[in-house]
A and B are shown apart, each in its own frame.
Chain A
Amino acid sequence: MFGSGPDRSAHDPLTGIFMAMRDAWLAGVGLRENMTVQPTAGNPGTGLLGATLLGPMIGMLGAMADLAAANRQRFDQSSAEGAIGSPPGGQENSVATDFVVPMGHAMMIAANRSASYWFGLAQILASHQARFAQAVGVNAADGRASGAERLLAADELRALLREVGDLAVREARILQSELSNLDESLAQNFQQPDLSGSYRRRWRSKI
């Protein structure tokens, strides 16, 4: 799923993410060099541009999916160990329930958000790909473009940058909201029931 190639799946999920980040960075450098070193020898074209930028995005998405799967595996393992290795109602089982479950939940939330971010990024790039390639085509790249064409190219690029920024902020806000809900439910689990009846603050009037 999501481009889990043999080169990445051979490594642990964290290394996979770093490799995908490296690929994305190299793709960016490659595209920049292609635009500046060979400005008149042709433009990257829609297909090449898509292959250059979309590939690493898909790779990153795959790396995130691998990490989410690995987290899930670790979480299931520790939950099972917690359940088997301690007597029912024992201290260790309680620790597993109190901490391992919410931690696993938090890790899954984080992994889901990461995957959602990279998926969204790939979608944004795909939707802009054709228009962007057209806008930064031969004329714009070699400086032969008219003022209107250059303005259009700049507008397309600005739209792409805004959408990427908006996506990052939205995913971060959702992450914050989901972690905050988890935090709230954790706090409520630890609240001791008040068995003392209605609390009355002691006071003494000052004379």
Chain B
Amino acid sequence: MADLRQRIARWIDGCSEEMREALEWQFLTGSKYFRPLTIFSCYRAVREGPIPEQIMQSALVIELFHNVSLIIDDIVDRSPTRRGRATMHTKFGELSALMTSGYIVAEGYLQLKDDLTGIALFSELLKRLGVAECMQWRLRRRPLGIEDWRKIAGEDTGSMFEVCACLGDRSGRLRTFGGLLGLLYHGCDDVGDVKGLAALGGGGEEDLRDGILTLPAALAIRDPAAAKLFCDPEGGDLAELGRHFVAKLPEAEAYLDQIAEEGRTEARSFAVDPTPLIALIEQTRQLSRY
């Protein structure tokens, strides 16, 4: 991780002076580097020896692309802060934030050099993230179920971790594992938001206001009274809707345990050494338990 941090710093040093301040603001603050960690763990689960250059490059680029998705999310959600400080568009303005996003994507592809598999995987990721955001917005304020939540979360965070797994194992064996890890992460994030946790960056109020289908929401709106509030949040009491979500937290936690178990089974079935993958599952599962 220290190597990765240095690579990011070197990369910023080589970027246009015009962009540097915004890039430093975005990248040189408390990232958890969980996506690069997923790439490294998936590599370790199928191979031994030191991490090769191509995998290090992939880890750098996934961190770049992940930050692009954060910048866009913050603009769309009108979020003033992230990780306890101003978001990029709040600090530098929307135009700068959008242009910096495009700059980072172009730089990401340049960093991949001749890694054709990596290029294909990152293209898949950007396309799927775009589709997921549109789908999530189109399906807001609708009385849908857990299976719909799985589909949305699977395309959103799931696609990110699927690609991380493929970048790490380079054979596709761990793709399903990555998808399950992403689903777990997304679900823990949803539950954490309802618990009012800052550990995952917040965002619960926006989801509640916009009628986004989170895991606790999908469980709560099985009750027609909650469904009515969810579908028309402006006409109802958001605090009351929030209470419906809180009541479903134990059920949501049990569902997350089930996804975690699916992930462990997948790791045991397809990894040469499942230990690093199971550690990822345990680490992710803790995110909603702070």
Contact = CB atoms under 8 A, between A and B. Distances in A.
Q: Do A and B bind each other?
A: yes
B270 to A, nearest CB: 7
A146 B143 CA distance: 13
A155 B270 contact: no
Contacts of B269: 170, 173-174
Contact of B147 (A146, A148, A162): A162
B155 to A, nearest CB: 15
A158 B149 CA distance: 12
Interface in B128-151: 143-147, 150
A147 B143 CA distance: 10
Nearest to B218: A155
A148 B231 CA distance: 13
B270 A151 contact: no
B227 interface: yes
A177 B266 CA distance: 13
A179 interface: no
Query: Chain B's interface: helix, strand, loop or mixed, by majority?
Result: helix
B223 interface: yes
Contacts of A177: 173, 270
A177 B271 CA distance: 11
A4 B144 CA distance: 43
Nearest to B150: A162
A198 to B, nearest CB: 24
Interface string A142-180: 000011100110110011001000000010011001000
A155 B147 contact: yes
Given A170-B266, A173-B270, A174-B269, A148 B227 contact: yes
Interface of A: 146-148, 151-152, 154-155, 158-159, 162, 170, 173-174, 177
Interface of B: 143-147, 150, 173, 176, 222-224, 227, 266, 269-270
Closest 3 interchain pairs by CB? Answer: A155-B145, A158-B147, A148-B224
